[in-house]
Amino acid sequence: ARRKSLQAEKSNLTALVAQIQSTRASLERNLERSDQLIDRLRFKLEKDIDDSIKDDEPQL
């Protein structure tokens, strides 16, 4: 009975570890996508700011 209980606990913990690893991989992918999106937004905003400054400069 004890052996069966320990085996069931081991199986549950093994499944939990697999789930944690899967969740971690998903979080890492989402973080990478977020970083890429931030870079794209930063580039766009910097360009918009530069264009706005250029538009505000007096024409010579």
Structure tokens at 9: 């606990």
What is the value of pTM for the model shown?
0.67
pLDDT tens across 1-59, in order?
A: 999 999 999 999 999 999 999 999 999 999 999 999 999 999 999 999 999 998 887 77
**Cα 3 from chain centroid?**
41
Q: What is the Cα–Cα distance from 35 to 28, expressed in whole angstroms?
A: 11
